[in-house]
A and B are shown apart, each in its own frame.
Chain A
């Protein structure tokens, strides 16, 4: 095994995680409110009622405050692939770079051009052109989500590529396979629907606060109806796509799936842990020491999630590590051996090519191709290092799912009470809606933690672990930039929250009803 600076890997991961987690504090709100605002403006244009214009403009202000900081954190993510993960950038750049470039050409220009019209064009362009601009901003921001999620999905489930030993990189052979991979489709649909849900909770919560304070009631009641209708539809969509995503994870990332449930020993008729706590989790030196506190289980549900069959077999972490011949699972020990063969064969191939020794090169290439699918495993000796942080993934997953289901209920109740005109008197649901806001953010972050911590140590599933993807830089530089990013993002976040809270508090719409 080559020498890797693991501290550098950890700091680089920390920096990327910090940027991504901050970025995702702002993006879902942009994705969802852009549509909510577009719907509101459409109602304004259709009805001609001035109150809808005021409602649209109010939410637009909050959108813009949030949008700015989302842009600031987004640019960092793109460039960090190069600055901190340069070996990754070459190894898969032939595939991964394309969606990023398309995102820029197709989405960012759309967003930024019409953003200016949306905010400053009220008195400069026609009503129709303005409304179109608002919809185009929504379309642009969601298109950008599509391409970056296609790129992320490809890391989780690399398809449509072939390794070129001459250039020592993966090269794209099928663009459509990358774009329409089931992982990409599910990831996109689940992520955007959850972002819509988050945005709807935000609009709902802020409006609930107005009603609790008996201010801007006309605006608040109308906003709540739009948000709860939008939220309810999207939350159903979110649950369906989440369910679909689970099967996709089971198929291509069984280790992540087992970690999401803290399942160490595989079983048929596997139950789903609805609520549960670890009292002890296994470590590489004591791999069998998992213990649970009390837990509530739903019989057969995990098997159903995995394969739409309550009796299906779900492998546990130990089955993946040690293999299971009855279920055709190749052990991680075996994969490590094959990975090492692939790495050695690639080196041999390159040396033989340099020496113009074709027959050795051909033999090495054969060995390489036979073992390439486990290439990344070859960087390790101990398979236990290939297990993600199970408690973190387990708790993140359960937090995400639990809160997601709670939001469905909240939308249902606010919609019913809203349509009956009883929202102002049902103060308890207003409090619930208000307090749901931080939990909506929590659910979003938890979702990404499942996706990203759950796939560790892979940056490209099975082919490239984080330790071989990192840039060849000194760790001190990364530590310094980590803290600089931490400080700057935090300062800007505080400024953003203060501005936003003030905008909400100072609104005096006057449109009482």
Chain B
């Protein structure tokens, strides 16, 4: 089945999987968004408990999405894995530290003798929510704006900034930094919107419903500002193309706009994604309560589609998906950074499991979500976080 595909087709297939995983990961970052809203939406201890427990049943899946995204990137595009992770050392380390803090916080926050106290664990959750979203969003923006590295003939990569990736978010003398940060902040506010929509869906409590609805509206404005700033910049910026024959990387004006026009399906997916996100927000903010409860599905699916389309825009159509502004010819493309044909083929068979995974997650969730979280449940459940 996959054995007959060309090497390039396999590389494109795997880039699509990475794009899909990226989309799912950004959608699942609603957990992180929710962690930054615990004490904004929650005003009493019971409110916070309901919010934490609602997120607590999903956090592990977000965590898993991140791990699988990393694993899939390693398996399919190892040069990206080695260059980015080994190069932008501090960016990834900070993200990792934030995720360590998250992993224990749900389970330990209300346990007796937890040493650090509930507030500390809740602060850990907030830190994870803030860093997890802003840093991941900023890191993805560098796919468009470029980083500082070189790769030698042995494919050893060398990061060319002593700040080890932090310069991508903190070098305010470079315009690209603002573009990077704008995506980081857009992801942050989007995660808070999705979290609010999720709470509306998952918790049966009028007060929380109303406060979550307000948060949807409050976070929509900054989200739109940052996202549109990023999107407009992407559409008008110079991009990184490569010659399919000589493989030489060059700069092209309006590269990403050209890509979207050359790949109308991707353009449609992008527009559809954005419309769905906005439609979900509109339903939550202005429609009936019943509509509000279902809004997460529109905005969630829209998020996945938007991110998916952005990844395809930066990876397909002879585009360097991880460009180096230090040495253009070191830029990574889906062709020069990928695994061998054999490995991509073998992994492609494994990818057939993905629909099975989605199916059982769907089934388990639907079983668990039949009854939304209530105050009563929180009082009775001995294992509640």
Q: By CB atoms of chain B within 10 A, which of A76, A86, A123, A506 has the most?
A: A86
Contact residues, B268-326 vs A (CB, 8 A):
none
Q: A87-B82, A120-B383, A473-B159 are in contact. Are A75 and B63 (CB under 8 A)?
A: yes
A95 at the interface (CB under 8 A from B): yes
Are B75's CB and A98's CB within 8 A?
A: yes
Q: A391 an interface residue at 8 Å Cβ cutoff?
A: no
Task: Give Cα A13 to B86, complex, Å.
Answer: 15
A-B contact count (CB 8 A): 265
Binds B, one of A40-48, A62-70, A223-231, A234-242: A62-70
Interface hit among A105-113, A249-257, A305-313: A105-113
User: B79 — which chain A residues lie within 8 A by C-beta?
Assistant: 90, 93
Which of A473-513 touch B at CB < 8 Å?
473-474, 477, 481, 484, 488, 491-492, 494-496, 498-499, 501-503, 506
Of the A-B pairs whose beta carbons lie under 8 Å apart in the complex, a sample of 8, sorted by A's number, is A68-B104, A93-B339, A113-B360, A113-B365, A116-B58, A123-B381, A494-B115, A499-B113
Which residues in B have their C-beta under 8 angstroms from that of A340? none
B residues contacting the other copy or chain, number (CB 8 A): 77
Q: Which B residues are CB-close (under 8 A) to A498?
A: 113-115
Does chain B have a CB within 8 A of A348?
Answer: no
Residue of B nearest to A76 (CB): B96
Known: A108-B68, A472-B157. Contact between A116 and B340, CB under 8 A?
no
- Most-contacted residue by chain A among B162, B346, B351 (CB, 10 A): B346
Q: A94 to chain B: closest CB distance in Å?
A: 5
Cβ of A164 under 8 Å from chain B: yes
Q: How far is the CA of A354 from the CA of B351 in the complex (A)?
A: 37
Q: Are A94 and B103 in contact (CB under 8 A)?
A: no
Partner pick for B64 among A90, A104, A499, CB 8 A cutoff: A104
- CB distance B107 to A68 under 8 Å? yes
Say if the beta carbon of A371 comes within 8 Å of chain B.
no
B245 at the A interface (CB under 8 A)? no
Does B236 lie at the interface of the complex (its beta carbon under 8 Å from any beta carbon of A)? Answer: no
Q: Separation in Å of the A27 CB from the closest CB of chain B?
A: 14
Name A496's contact: one of B53, B104, B153, B361 (CB within 8 Å). Answer: B104
Q: Considering the chains assembled together, what is the distance between the CA atoms of A488 and B105 in angstroms?
A: 13
Tell me, rounded to whole Å, the shortest Cβ–Cβ distance linking A124 to chain B.
Answer: 6
CB distance from B251 to the nearest CB of A (A): 24
Q: Find chain A residues with CB under 8 A from B92 CB.
A: 79, 82-83
Given contacts A65-B108, A68-B106, contact A97 B82 (CB under 8 A): no
* CB <8 Å contact, B342 and A171: yes
A75 touches B99 (CB 8 A): yes
A172 to B158, CA, bound (A): 26
In-complex Cβ contact of B71 among A67, A97, A473 (8 A): A97
Shortest CB distance B42–A (Å): 19
With A97-B71, A98-B347, A498-B113 as known contacts, state yes or no: A481 contacts B364, CB within 8 Å.
no
Is B116 on the interface with A (CB-CB < 8 A)? yes
A79 to B82, Cβ gap below 8 A?
no
Q: How far is the CB of A278 from chain B (nearest CB, A)?
A: 38
Question: Which of B104, B113, B383 has its CB near the most chain A CB atoms (within 10 A)?
Answer: B104
Q: Which residue of B lies closest to A66 (CB)?
A: B107
Residue in chain A with minimal CB distance to B153: A350
Q: Is A335 an interface residue (CB 8 A)?
A: no
* Bound complex: CA A60 to CA B382 (Å): 12
Q: From residue B227, how far is it (CB to closest CB) to chain A in Å? A: 27
What distance in Å separates the Cβ of B247 from its nearest Cβ neighbour in chain A?
Answer: 13
Q: How far is the CA of A108 from the CA of B62 in the complex (A)?
A: 11
Are B78 and A121 interface neighbours, CB within 8 A?
no
Query: Cβ of B60: which chain A residues have Cβ within 8 Å of it?
Result: 71, 111-112, 115-116
Cβ of A187 within 8 Å of any chain B Cβ, yes or no, is: no
Whether, in the assembled complex, A56 has its beta carbon less than 8 Å from a beta carbon of chain B, the answer is no
Q: Give the residues in chain A near B74, CB-CB below 8 Å.
A: 78, 81-82, 89, 93, 96-97, 100-101
A354 to B87 Cα, complex, angstroms:
26
A114 lies within 8 A of chain B by Cβ: yes
Query: Which residue of A has the minimal Cβ distance to B79?
Result: A90
Q: What are the interface flags for A170-181 relative to B under an 8 Å C-beta threshold, 1 for contact and 0 otherwise?
A: 011101000000
How far, in whole Å, are A71 and B350 apart by their CA atoms in the complex?
23
**B1 touches A (CB below 8 Å):** no
Q: Which of B183-191, B255-263, B366-374 contacts A (4 or more CB under 8 A)?
A: B366-374
B68 engages A104 (CB within 8 Å) = yes
User: In the complex, A57→B354 CA distance in Å?
Assistant: 31
B2 proximal to A (CB < 8 A): no
Closest 4 CB pairs of A and B: A86-B86, A82-B85, A93-B78, A97-B75
Q: State how many angstroms separate the Cβ of A93 from the closest Cβ of chain B.
A: 3
12 A-B pairs besides A72-B104, A105-B350, A120-B57 with CB distance below 8 A are A68-B107, A75-B99, A82-B81, A90-B156, A97-B78, A98-B343, A106-B353, A116-B57, A121-B368, A171-B343, A473-B164, A499-B108
* Residue A102, interface by CB 8 Å: yes
Q: How many angstroms from the CA of A78 to the CA of B84 in the assembled complex?
A: 14
Is A114 a contact of B364 with CB atoms below 8 Å?
yes
Q: When A87-B82, A97-B76 are in contact, do A172 and B371 touch as well, CB less than 8 Å? A: no
B81 and A172 form a contact (CB under 8 A): no
Expressed in whole angstroms, the Cα–Cα distance for A103 and B74 within the complex equals 12
CB atoms of A97 and B108 under 8 A apart:
no
Beta-carbon contact of B71 and A103 below 8 Å: yes
Are B104's CB and A102's CB within 8 A? Answer: no
CB distance from B29 to the nearest CB of A (A): 15
Query: Complex: how many Å from CA A94 to CA B371?
Result: 45
Residues of A within 8 A of B100 (CB): 72-73, 75-76, 488, 492
Q: Which residues of B contact A171 (CB under 8 A)?
A: 339-340, 342-343
Residues of chain B lying within 8 A (CB to CB) of residue A69: 103-104
**B89 contacts A124, C-beta separation under 8 Å:** no
In angstroms, Cα B343 to Cα A129, docked, is 36
The answer to whether A72 and B343 touch (CB under 8 A), given A78-B70, A121-B367, is: no
A366 to B157, CA, bound (A): 27
Q: Are B350 and A109 in contact (CB under 8 A)?
A: no
B292 shortest CB reach to chain A, Å: 23
- B83 close to A (CB within 8 Å): yes
CB <8 Å contact, A100 and B367 = no
**In angstroms, how far is the closest chain A Cβ from the Cβ of B128?**
11
Q: Tell me the nearest residue of chain A to B68, going by C-beta.
A: A104
At the interface, yes or no: B225 with Cβ under 8 Å from chain A? no
The answer to whether A116 touches B68, judged by C-beta atoms less than 8 angstroms apart, is: no
Contacts of A474 in B (CB 8 A): 162
A328 touches B (CB below 8 Å): no
Say yes or no: is B61 at the interface (Cβ < 8 Å to chain A): yes
A84 within 8 A of B: yes
A435 on interface, CB distance cutoff 8 Å: no
A109–B68 CB distance below 8 A: yes
Any B CB within 8 A of the CB of A409: no
Interface residues of B in 331-367 (CB under 8 A from A): 339-340, 342-343, 346-347, 350-351, 353-354, 357, 360-361, 364-365, 367
Give the CA-CA distance A484 to B98 in the complex, in Å: 12
Instruction: List A contacts of B63 (CB < 8 A).
Output: 71, 75, 112
Would you call B93 an interface residue if the criterion is a C-beta within 8 Å of the partner chain's C-beta atoms? yes
> Is B229 in contact with chain A by the CB < 8 A criterion?
no
The verdict on A109 contacting B64 (CB below 8 Å), with A76-B100, A84-B86 known, is yes
| A172 in contact with B78 (CB, 8 Å) | no
A491: min CB distance to chain B, Å: 8
Does B7 sit at the interface, judged by CB under 8 A?
no
* CB < 8 Å neighbour of B155 from A76, A120, A123, A169: A169
* Cβ of A307 to closest chain B Cβ, rounded Å: 35
Q: Answer whether residue A296 sits at the interface, using C-beta atoms and an 8 A cutoff.
A: no
**Choice from B64, B106, B153, B383 contacting A108 with Cβ under 8 Å:** B64
* Residue numbers in A under 8 Å from B84 (CB-CB): 82
Q: Determine whether the beta carbon of A133 is less than 8 Å from that of B343.
A: no
Measured between beta carbons, the chain A residues less than 8 angstroms from B97 are: 484, 488
Known: A89-B85, A94-B78. A78 touches B107 (CB 8 A): no
- Render B153-175 as a binary contact track against A, CB cut-off 8 A, 1 for contact: 11111110010100000000000
* A345 proximal to B (CB < 8 A): no
Residues of chain B in range 158-213 having any CB-CB distance to chain A below 8 Å? 158-159, 162, 164
